[in-house]
Amino acid sequence: MKKIFFISLIILGVNTCFASHELSQQATAFYSDNNFQKTLELLLQINEHERSAQDWLLLGNLLDEKGERQNAEFMYQKAIFADKKYYKAYYNLANHYLADEKYSFAIENYKLAIKYNKKNPYVYYNLACAYIKQAELKKAKSELIKAVTLNNNIPEIHYNLAYVYKNLGKDKIAKDYLDNYNKLTNQF
């Protein structure tokens, strides 16, 4: 009798986990389609202990969009707790801190995002923005160079490089990056 009960629990657990995974996939699809209400409904059907880092991240994004900043921050932290190597959670938490002008926290989380994904130019770009806000222009330049190396077609990177070089007294290099920005945005 104990074996049957134990096997039933295992099967029930597998079915619940599978159902949670299905709900998570559906929620992600609805989120991609900007159907935030349906996304929220599906995510709330998943038991907390079965939510993935992605689920927590989406909840954070939804709450942030609603202006529930503290709750969003909590959800991003839950995403990190669910998966310590999930760079998107660090990235979104850093963006959250950057918007709240908590630059040291933003920088710390951007660095963690980079630790787990070195190939996203936007992480370097936003890290540079945090350094610019702290008037650490040499550090900002370094991060912007990494970003432009990963993707040379993002106009904002060129614009910020022009800004940084201008403020570092390197007018010719600043002009080159401003010209690149203008070419990318078709502004002449």
Residue 54 has pLDDT above 90, yes or no: yes
pLDDT, tens digit, 9 for 90 and up, residues 20-35: 789 999 999 999 999 9
DSSP characters over 50-114: G--HHHHHHHHHHHHHTT-HHHHHHHHHHHHHH-TT-HHHHHHHHHHHHHTT-HHHHHHHHHHHH
pLDDT, tens digit, 9 for 90 and up, residues 103-128: 999 999 999 999 999 999 999 999 99
Dihedrals phi, psi of 101, to nearest 5 degrees: 60, 30
The H or E element containing residue 186 is: none
182 vs 44, 116, 124, CA distance in Å? 45, 33, 21
Could you tell me which residues come within 8 angstroms of residue 48 by beta carbon, excluding any fewer than 6 positions away?
A: none
pLDDT band at 15 (very low <50, low <70, confident <90, very high): very low
Average pLDDT, the chain: 91
